[in-house]
Amino acid sequence: MKWKIDDIPVFVAIVEQGGISAASDVLGQPKSTVSTTLTRLEHALGLRLVERNSRNLRVTEEGEVFYRKALLILDQVREADATAAGMSAEPSGRVVAAMPPAFTQEVVAPHIAEFQIRFPDVSLDLVLTTQGIELLRDQVDLAVVVGPKVDSDLISRVLVAGPLAWVTSPSYASTHDLRGGIDQIRSHIRICEKRYGRARMPVRVDGVQTQIDLSTGVSHVNSPLVAREAVVNGAGVSALPRLYLRESLASGRLVEAFKNVTFDLDASVLSVVYPHRRLLSPRLRVFVDFLEEICRQR
């Protein structure tokens, strides 16, 4: 096929307007462009579509037949254009998001209903994952990941950045002496999240930089919620992101401990990563905004 589909609207305009000058007015193109376009189409098709001189124009029989076919093409083109316009104008469709289980259960789940009310045409496909995510390979739209992700291709926006807090159950606190130096403090820590379970975890004790061993003899789990439940049930003291502690502290199920032992800022960071800032579809944009909003509220 040697003809250009983009010549179709020009040909249709010539036929319908009855002339090249009139067609150029309607198309908003110079008449030399319109004239040359018609000539090119006729040569590519090997058909004389229009007989014309400076005063008369006559659509040939072949031109009439091709014109009707051209109208069908334009019908479909307008349909596609309208569909594309609709897609880029309002949020609809499915968002596939990979997120950590704890974050999803504790932070996102309570707000899903409200998101659905606001954006009825957007469906969520939430993929709880504990492995590293690659958007393209894993065929997901976006991901919430631990850390301030920096990637040359991806856009990263920090959702949560804050310190950890030491917590224990009231009963544990009332039956144990939580005072003392680093060694005494260390003896109370029996479980913590795996990501913090380092042999030399940097902390400040009374403002003085030091390190604490959260590796040897401390149980690890890759879920802040499980660590939290263990502590609620008497498993000593643990350091957890404040993100997951709001309700437990408010209800008194947990109490803060070791207030003189603090972590550096941003020990607990979660980011949302997605491929582009430009041409981000409306539904992705609103979901990212939604995640930012619910994290800001905590």
- Residue 39 CB, nearest approach to a second copy (Å): 10
- Rounded Cα distance between 280 and 207, Å, is 44
- Residue 21 CB, nearest approach to DNA (Å): 3
Q: Is 39 a residue that touches DNA (CB under 7 A)?
A: yes
Which of a second copy, DNA, none sits in contact with 35, Cβ below 5 to 8 A by type? DNA
Residue 32, burial from CB neighbour count under 10 angstroms (0-12, 13-18, 19+): exposed
CA distances from 170 to 92, 153, 236, 246, 248 (A): 47, 47, 10, 16, 11
Residue closer to a second copy by CB (options 1, 208) is 1
Q: Is 134 a residue that touches DNA (CB under 7 A)?
A: yes
Which of a second copy, DNA, none sits in contact with 47, Cβ below 5 to 8 A by type? a second copy
Which of DNA, a second copy, none sits in contact with 65, Cβ below 5 to 8 A by type? a second copy
Q: Is 139 a residue that touches DNA (CB under 7 A)?
A: no
Q: Which residues of the chain form contacts with a second copy (CB under 8 A)?
A: 1, 3-6, 8, 42-43, 45-48, 51-53, 55-58, 60-62, 65-66, 69-70, 72-73, 75-77, 79-81, 83-84, 87-88, 93-94, 135-137, 139, 153, 275-276, 279-281
> Which residue type is seen at 13?
A
Which of a second copy, DNA, none sits in contact with 33, Cβ below 5 to 8 A by type? DNA
Q: In what order do the strands lie in the sheet with 208-212?
A: 208-212, 201-205, 261-263
Residue closer to a second copy by CB (options 74, 128) is 74
**One character per residue 18-37, x = contact with DNA (rule: CB under 7 A):** -xxxx------xxxxx-xxx
- Rounded Cα distance between 145 and 50, Å, is 63
The string over 92-120, giving b where at least 16 C-beta atoms fall within 10 Å of a residue's C-beta and e elsewhere, is eeebbbbbbbbbbebbbeeeeeebeeebe
Q: Is 177 a residue that touches DNA (CB under 7 A)?
A: no
Which of DNA, a second copy, none sits in contact with 246, Cβ below 5 to 8 A by type? none
Q: Is 278 a residue that touches DNA (CB under 7 A)?
A: no
- Residue 125 CB, nearest approach to DNA (Å): 21
Which of a second copy, DNA, none sits in contact with 76, Cβ below 5 to 8 A by type? a second copy
DSSP H helices, the chain, are 8-17, 20-27, 31-45, 61-89, 101-103, 112-118, 170-175, 182-188, 224-232, 246-251, 282-296
- Rounded Cα distance between 82 and 79, Å, is 5
Residue count, binding to DNA (CB under 7 A): 26
203, 258 Cβ separation under 8 angstroms:
no
Note the Cα 254 to chain centre separation in Å.
Answer: 33
Residue closer to DNA by CB (options 59, 291) is 59
Residue closer to a second copy by CB (options 80, 109) is 80
- Rounded Cα distance between 251 and 236, Å, is 19
Q: Which residues bind DNA (CB under 7 A)?
A: 19-22, 29-33, 35-40, 52-57, 134, 136-137, 152-153
